[in-house]
Amino acid sequence: MEVAVENMPWGVMVILLPLAGALVCFLWPRRSVPLGLLGALGVVACVTGLCWQVVEQGAQRYTVGGWGAPLGIDLYADGLSLLMLMMTAVVGLGISIYSSGYFEHKTAVVFWPLWLFLWTALNALLLSADIFNLYVTLELLGLSAVALVALAGGADALTAAMRYLLVGLLGSLCYLLGVALLYHSFGSVDIAILAERMELSPAVWAAVGLMSAGLLLKTALFPLHFWLPPAHASAPVPVSALLSALVVMASFYILLRLWLEVFPPGAAAAGQLLGLLGATAVLWGGIQALRQTRLKLLIAYSTVAQMGYLFLAFPLGTSFAWKGALYLLLSHAMAKAAMFMAAGNILRFGGHDRIADLDRVAQRLPLTLAAFSLAGISIMGLPPSGGFIGKWMLLDAAFYRGQWWWALILIMGGLLTAAYVFKVVGYAFTQAEVTHEASRVPAGMEWTALVLALAAVLLGLFAPWPLALLDIGFPFSGGCAE
Amino acid sequence: MRRVNWDSGLLLLILATSLVPGLVIFFLPEERVAIRTTLNMGGAVVKLVLVGVLIWGVLHGHQYETRLPLLPGGLDLVLHADAESVLFVTLSAVLWLVTTIYAIGYLEGSQHRSRFFGFFSLCVTATVGVALAGNMITFLVFYELLTLSTYPLIVHRGTEEARQAGRVYLRYTIAGGALLLVGTVWLYDVAGSFEFTHRGVVAGLDDADRTVLTAIFVLLIAGLGVKAALVPLHGWLPRAMVAPAPVSALLHAVAVVKAGAFGIVRVVDDVYGVEFAASLGVTGPLAVLAATTIVYGSLRALFQDNLKRRLAYSTVSQVSYIVLGVAVVGPIATVGGLVHLVHQGLMKITLFFCAGNLAETLGVHNISDMNGIGRRMPWTMAAFTIAALGMIGVPPLAGFVSKWYLGLGALDAGQDWVVFILAGSSLLNAGYFLPVLYATWFKAPPDAWPAERSYGRRETAWALLAPPLVTALLVVAAGLLASAPFSPLQWARFITTQEYAP
């Protein structure tokens, strides 16, 4: 039995299972909710299996169909992929549970296949070992995300979805051009092979520029963030949650992989530029979030700001800084999903998300408000949350490298975040005069938000373990951009 | 081996005695008064017993330490009990019990009590955590938790004024927390460690840049100074008095301002080392800042008619005695500062309890309405009088002991100017307390009080009356029995012997 567990190709199952789930949900729409939930649980189980395998046996490489690297498709699972997969599994399970209460039957039928398909694409992306597969999965991910945004219906959602589609296509097209250039130069798309053969040439620089630009557009780094707030805010709540928590991080993940493993080192100036853009995103996103009058838009702008933090690791470039940024990414995913879910509960309960009128709603949903506040603590980076650990590591790296101005940005970003989070939380304590006609919020939706938010906070107390995971087959030790 | 486990678990238990009831209380429905009260009181009593065990253990040379690795590379969350922690933990455990009784009486029948007591317990947990923190990052964690758990208490009433006060409070404390964070990270980068050790970890660094160390010191003190209400960072404190009386009492006596003052003591004594800090030249400016705060707070207090505001400015002034005692750099002054940590807590909590009683029973908020109030509420005002006289520094009350040691210590350290500050401040204290006492006892009462509630033959509910009486007795005891073993003074002396080289 144990041998069977040991030798299971968990990495392949992680992709096949949600795909099968999506098909089954599509074929039996009446049962889509229980089937979808079952699929989500199955994915979590597979990721656990993969985790066990990677921890026990080190990084895993699967050759799908028995064909090796240059010809066939390789899947590769190291600590970085694993951590991202685990985070996706946790958030994905949360979103699945939340969605089972959220959607009407009519929308649920469409939602479940699309969502599980998106999950498939995301898992495949995280396991891809070559840059062309990364392109394919990125495209699949983008298309299913667009379809999910359009799910809300209505003119706003369709416009946002259209814009999201065009931006996404533009981004992946840039990326694909870069892939073509690299393939032309080195005759391979495998990340490991490319890393070996990498040498500088104008074509390589063009590829680096194109791929980075495409991915930055998809990650919504300032000033390429314009598409994100409308798309994230107009989608149905579970979709907003999965876009902000999972989809944007996919393109960041690719960028990180390329930057650390493929792209030629010595791009110090580029690192500083990315850091600068990240810093601007932190401040701009924060200020914009503060100015919003709608809760969902506020949260969406907060995502713009939080994405900015991740790019502060590029100029610092130490392994500590990378890990810090990844830890921020991890806790942001959980916290942001929880925040959107909390917003969704408020929206469901009171029928609106105008921040100024929240007092009448917020007090009657204590669990949801607790979820929002806890998620806010992590996003602000207050201890002992996961966000705090990430921020601490980045701060430490900034002082270590003597680049204290990044520390200043981190602190100012934190203050801005505190300002917009408390702008919302403050309403929970004001006296409410008017009572709303409230609709019921299922307990499952409230608890999912709370548990995810709590996980984001508790992540701060268990940092050594995930950070140790990152060291398995870690790309950071050798290839970090010093 | 078993003994060691028990020892390391004790600190966690002490934290849990307020954390667990707090978390449970959040989920209790509003009307479950009996369970809530049992949880509150049970937690407070058990904590007090455990703190007793802790004192016994520390005296008998037990080492109490609990570690949780936070990041690879030696960054740990550390709970650690040394003599200074014990001083602060005992203060908070005793005053928590008293304040819980008071709060139960005070909030009887009001709304949102589960929310209130939940955050109240979290607030105490954070304070105890601040006291037991064994290094800077642990301190920071609990310091921020304190900010977050007090905010809902300050805005508890939900009025527009309360919301404004809450907003100002957050603005100050979150910014302060950010400064503290930067200072802490920078310190970690420079020193590689920030465990609290006697005579400081920084003192052992030979090759560190002294300018950098000074800059870090300034950042840390600025971050802590917000909560300790050092001028000009004190703006939030007088506004925060819109909170319900038990919250003000806790805020001013134990929780927030004390956390700031205690942090300053920690940074000067156990991170930098008081002698090294003096050689760095940072204690002089700190002493001047503290002296300025003392005088400024007292001056502002003179002109407040609202009783709680006057008390709030008095806190601004009095808390800086602690900072002054540490910054004067001398063993005797340090004793004065540390002992004032306890004494000020006892006196100020009494004053706020009494102010709450006046507001709750008679609807009196302003000093101009207090004429003859001593005849209506003799017991409350007796407690008030004792605490006020203690604040002025009348022997043999607690405040006198603090001021005596501060003055003596300043002379001993050759800083004679401090004595003038102390004398001037005492005069100002008398200036803002004696007129109140005079009006209370000797002026004729009005025909009717603004909003009187009847409690039968008693002057007010027993749950409101007993706490200030107890704390007033403690004020007397701390002064009269100052040289008895286990008095705050003796404990402060014990601490000081560890901070200064013999």
Q: How confident is the model at residue B3 (pLDDT cuts 50, 70, 90)?
A: very low
Domain hosting B346: range is: 299-502
Q: How far apart are CA A96 and CA A109, in angstroms?
A: 13
Sorted by sequence, the CB contacts under 8 Å of residue A358 that are 6+ apart come out as: A295, A346, A350, A424, A427, A428
Higher-confidence residue: B21 or B60? B21
Residue B325 lies in a domain: yes
CB-CB neighbours of B166 under 10 Å: 28
Question: Tell me, what's the pLDDT at B2?
Answer: 42
Burial of B198 (0-12, 13-18, 19+ CB in 10 A): middle
A121–B contact, CB cutoff 8 A: no
CB spacing of A393 vs B71 below 8 angstroms = yes
Which sign, positive or negative, has the C-alpha torsion B358, B361, B364, B370? negative
pLDDT in single tens digits along all 482 residues of chain A = 456 667 778 888 899 999 999 999 999 988 888 999 999 999 999 999 999 988 888 888 888 766 666 667 888 888 899 999 999 999 999 999 999 988 888 888 899 999 999 999 999 999 998 899 999 999 999 999 999 998 888 888 889 899 999 999 999 999 999 999 999 988 888 888 888 888 888 888 899 999 999 999 999 898 888 888 888 888 899 999 999 999 999 999 999 988 888 887 766 778 889 999 999 999 999 999 999 999 999 999 999 999 999 999 999 888 889 999 999 999 999 999 999 999 999 888 888 888 888 877 767 888 899 999 999 999 999 988 999 999 999 999 999 988 889 999 999 999 999 999 998 888 777 766 656 567 788 888 999 999 999 999 999 988 888 888 888 876 665 433 33
- Read off the pLDDT band of B6 (50, 70, 90): low
> What is the spatial distance between Cα A108 and Cα A27, in angstroms, rounded to a whole number?
13
Q: pTM score, two decimals?
A: 0.92
Q: What is the pLDDT of residue A480?
A: 35
**B284 in a domain, yes or no?**
no
Specify the number of domains making up chain B. 1
ipTM given for this complex: 0.90
Q: Is B67 on the interface with A (CB under 8 A)?
A: no
Is residue B131 domain-resident?
A: no
Distance from CA of A18 to the nearest CA of B (A): 34
- Closest residue to A377, CB basis, from B140, B148, B158: B148
Query: Does residue B6 belong to any structural domain of this protein?
Result: no
Task: Tell me whether A422 touches chain B (CB under 8 Å).
Answer: yes
Helix or strand holding residue A291 (H, E): helix A268-291
HEC readout, B259-275: HHHHHHHHHHHHHHCHH
Task: Express each pLDDT in B475-485 by its tens digit.
Answer: 999 988 888 88
Helix ranges (H only) for B328-397 are: 331-357, 373-376, 378-392
- The tens digit of pLDDT for each residue in B373-422 reads 888 889 999 999 999 999 998 888 999 999 999 999 999 988 889 999 99
Confidence bin at B310 (pLDDT 50/70/90): very high
State the nearest Cα–Cα gap between A462 and chain B, in angstroms: 7
Residue A314's domain spans which residues? 267-482
Handedness of CA B1, B6, B7, B11 (dihedral sign): positive
Q: Tell me, yes or no, if A393 comes closer than 8 A to chain B by beta carbon.
A: yes
Whole-number pLDDT of residue B458: 81
Residue A141 lies in a domain: no
Contacts of B115 in chain A (CB under 8 A): 366
| Among B433, B406, B287, CA closest to B351 | B433
User: What radius of gyration do chain A's Cα atoms show?
Assistant: 21
**In this structure, are residues B165 and B242 in contact, taking their beta carbons and an 8 Å threshold?**
yes
Is B123 within the bounds of a domain?
no
B364 found inside a domain: yes
Q: Smallest Cα–Cα separation from B269: which of B23, B490, B495? A: B495
> What does pLDDT average to over chain B?
89
- Residue B60 covered by a domain: no
Cα-based distances in Å from B352 to B34, B426, B427: 26, 20, 21
Q: How far apart are CA B222 and CA A479, in angstroms?
A: 40
Buried b / exposed e along B52-75 (16+ C-beta atoms within 10 A): eebbebbeeebebebeeebbeeeb
User: What is the distance between the alpha carbons of residues B365 and B262, in angstroms, rounded to a whole number?
Assistant: 31
**Residue in the structure block whose two tokens are 């959107």:** A340
Can you tell me the mean pLDDT for B199-221?
Answer: 86
- CA distances to A2, A88, A233, A461, B450 from B372, in Å: 85, 69, 62, 56, 14
- Rounded CA gap, A40 and A20, in Å? 11
Domain count, chain A: 1
User: Per the omega criterion (within 30 degrees of 0), is the bond before A265 cis?
Assistant: no
A254 three-state secondary structure: helix
Convert the pLDDT of each residue in B117-132 to its tens digit: 999 999 999 999 999 9
A468 and B CB contact within 8 Å:
yes
Judge contact between B252 and B162, C-beta under 8 A.
Answer: no
Residue A63 CB neighbour total at 10 angstroms: 15
Helix (H, G, I), strand (E, B) or coil at A60: strand
Interface contact A392-B152, CB threshold 8 A = no
CB-nearest partner of B70 from A400, A431, A463? A463
| A362 Cβ under 8 Å from any chain B Cβ | no
Look up residue A6 and give its amino acid: E
Between strands A60-64 and A73-77, the pairing is antiparallel
A220, part of any domain: no
Q: Is B166 on the interface with A (CB under 8 A)?
A: yes
Give domain status of residue B324, yes or no. Answer: yes
* Contacting residues of A for B72, CB less than 8 Å apart: 464, 467-468
A275 within domain boundaries: yes
The stretch B203-208 carries a mean pLDDT of 76
Residue A438's CB is within 10 A of a number of other CB atoms, namely 14
List, in order, residues 6 or more apart from A208 with CB less than 8 Å away.
Answer: A178, A263, A264, A267
- CB-based contacts of A27: which residues, under 8 Å, 6+ apart? none
Q: Are A458 and B68 in contact (CB under 8 A)?
A: no
Whether B140 and chain A come into contact, CB under 8 Å, resolves to yes
Q: Do B68 and A395 touch (CB under 8 A)?
A: no
Cα–Cα separations (whole angstroms), residue A343 to A336, A424, A436, B31, B430: 10, 10, 16, 29, 54
The answer to whether B189 contacts A399, with C-beta atoms less than 8 Å apart, is yes
Q: What pLDDT, on the 0 to 100 scale, is given for residue A70?
A: 64
Q: Where are the beta strands (DSSP E) in B17-174?
A: 64-71, 75-81
Per the CB < 8 A criterion, the answer to whether A300 and A229 are in contact is: yes
Q: How far A475 CA lies from chain B's nearest CA (Å)?
A: 18
B79 to chain A, closest Cα gap in Å: 14
- Going by C-alpha positions, the residue among A253, A233, A296 that lies closest to residue A121 is A253
How confident is the model at residue A349, as a pLDDT?
86
Amino acid found at B103: A
Helices (H), A128-201: 131-150, 154-186, 191-197
Closest partner CB to A422 (pick from B160, B170, B186): B170
- Report yes or no on A197 lying in a domain: no
CA–CA separation, B227 and B173 (whole Å): 7
